[in-house]
Amino acid sequence: MSVTQERLESIIPRNAPDFQAIKAKQQATWASGDYAVIGTSLQIVGELLAEAADIRTGERVLDVAAGNGNATLAAARRFAQVTSTDYVEALLAKGSARARADGLHVSFKVADAEALPFADQTFDVALSTFGVMFTPNRRKAAGEMLRVVRGGGRIGLANWTGDGFIGQLFKVIGRHVPPPDGLQPPALWGSESHIVQLFGREAADIRSERKHYHFRYKAPAHWIDVFRDYYGPTHKAFAALDASGQEKLRADITELLERLNVGGPDTLVVPGEYLEVVITKH
């Protein structure tokens, strides 16, 4: 028997955090800086996910928390009927500009991943690359993706892992700018066991594979400058600190980058582990 949205709501702890307040802060975070600068560099992840999810011509595909549209464009290049959603309108505008530049037809709609404005079983496939993993109410977001995908359809996800570079980065940031009380780490979505908890009852099959995206920059200082200016979480973290706090955060991120660098002394190449998941719905 399917897990209904009512059932998903009933198993959220009564002392859950104020998800609406957290979401408002998150929305402001992702609207800050210019995530499109970072997002565009991650395009290969969207292409690999579209292949893993076996996107077919003519399929109805939803990109959830799409950002500036990496999975959106990948699916559209495979001649799917794509709807791209995010709760930051400015990011959708960047995705729309990319689609026009590539001559791709895509529908764009402002939407909250925890309350998707679509009827049950509207889509053949739902995708999300480093997007839905940041929703504060993860059970509700998972339930919404399951709800809008038809029986036999697929859900494809790319989520940073807790042990990987981005998971470690958020731990470093959290030591300087603590996250809201009670909020679970987004990188839980990068755990196979947590994916089973979220989707297992509705899944006929779950396939996952750990992969690496390589961050390639001139040096640690170059990476920090780019992410401080353009990546919402680091942009906001630095802005929340005084000058002394900013220097300490920079030093800790530099140490992390230098420790994980596999590029040698003259460049920066940092493997960022993520979990690629394809769920087939009952």
Structural domains in the chain (count):
1
* Host domain of residue 188: 5-9+16-215+274-281
- Return the CATH number at 48: 3.40.50.150
User: Would you say residue 249 lies in a domain?
Assistant: no
Range name among 120-129, 175-184, 227-236 with the lowest pLDDT average: 175-184
Query: What is the DSSP code string of 238-261?
Result: HHTS-HHHHHHHHHHHHHHHHHH-
User: Would you say residue 204 lies in a domain?
Assistant: yes
Burial class (CB in 10 A: 0-12, 13-18, 19+), 121: middle
User: Would you say residue 252 lies in a domain?
Assistant: no
User: Would you say residue 160 lies in a domain?
Assistant: yes
User: Would you say residue 234 lies in a domain?
Assistant: no
Provide the pLDDT confidence category of residue 15 given band limits of 50, 70 and 90.
low
Residue 61's pLDDT is: 99
Q: d(Cα 218, Cα 96) in Å, to the nearest integer? A: 30
User: Would you say residue 226 lies in a domain?
Assistant: no
Mean pLDDT, rounded, for 164-169: 98
Mean pLDDT, rounded, for 53-62: 98
User: How would you label 141-155 residue by residue, b for 16+ Cβ within 10 Å and e otherwise?
Assistant: bbbbbbbbbeeebbb
User: Would you say residue 206 lies in a domain?
Assistant: yes
Range name among 1-5, 68-72, 82-86, 196-200 with the lowest pLDDT average: 1-5
Q: What is the Rg, in whole angstroms, of the alpha carbon atoms belonging to the chain?
A: 18
Q: Where are the beta strands (DSSP E) in the chain?
A: 60-63, 81-86, 106-110, 123-129, 149-160, 203-217, 268-281
pLDDT in tens, 248-271: 999 999 999 999 999 999 999 999
